[in-house]
Amino acid sequence: MKKIIFGALICVIGFSACKTEDYEWEDYKYTAAPRATIDTAKSALPTRQAAKVSFFNLRDPNFANEQFSFSLYYDDFGLATVSSIEVFASFNKAEASVPAYPIVISSPGNQYPNIFQFPLPSVVGPSEVLFDKATTFPKVYTFTPSQLLAITGTSLSSVAVNDYFLFKFIINLTDGRRIITFTNNICDESRGEPGECRVGVRFKSQ
């Protein structure tokens, strides 16, 4: 038994001595992830919480009074402290291939959409508008179509089916770090990862 333990120690020491490269991932730090909860009852068309998408219905006579609402919070896992979350807004034209509606849920599990609901990667770009800097949580945001259009200076006449508004989040930590982007895994609505880096509302005509 002593020989086995001694041999194992030699192996460990040998591997440590042979290490010649320092890798970036070895110096990891913990962070927090944004958490957005859609008010699915306010969506003009049926949706799923896991999809992180709500809908406006252009065909609805009550279109002007429809609402998109979500609550913003975060997951810190007890390992980081959040001081604020910056909320960025953008209006986007429909992508070439949009997710199917009604939302297709993956199987097995019956929990998450089968595909991400907005294009990836999901990075805050220079054309996106800083709408708010939240410092108290949870914080609830509620918008009508005209209020969203006003944020981005978009005319209703330019809105077409499957265009969408997107809110993205940047986290500021009390230690001075500013988390400006998240991996595609976090942003992909079909994966069910902890946290969400965006949430949105899409125009339909049903």
Distance CA 169, CA 83 (A): 13
pLDDT tens-place string over residues 26-75:
888 899 999 999 999 999 999 999 999 999 999 999 999 999 999 999 99
Is 158 within 8 Å of 202 (Cβ atoms)?
no
- Residue 107, pLDDT score: 75
The CATH number fitting domain 32-204, selected from 1.10.540.10, 3.40.50.150, 2.40.110.10, 2.60.40.10: 2.60.40.10
Q: Which residues contact 152 (CB under 8 A, 6 or more apart)?
A: 89, 90, 91, 129, 165
Binned at pLDDT 50, 70 and 90, residue 11 comes out as very low
Positive or negative, the CA dihedral 32, 137, 131, 189 is positive
Q: pTM value?
A: 0.86
Is 156 within 8 Å of 149 (Cβ atoms)?
yes
Distance CA 66, CA 145 (A): 7
Positive or negative, the CA dihedral 184, 187, 192, 195 is positive
- Residue 121, pLDDT score: 96
Q: Does residue 16 have a pLDDT over 60?
A: no
pLDDT tens-place string over residues 80-135:
999 999 999 999 999 999 999 999 998 767 899 999 999 999 999 999 999 999 99
- The average pLDDT across 141-163 equals 97
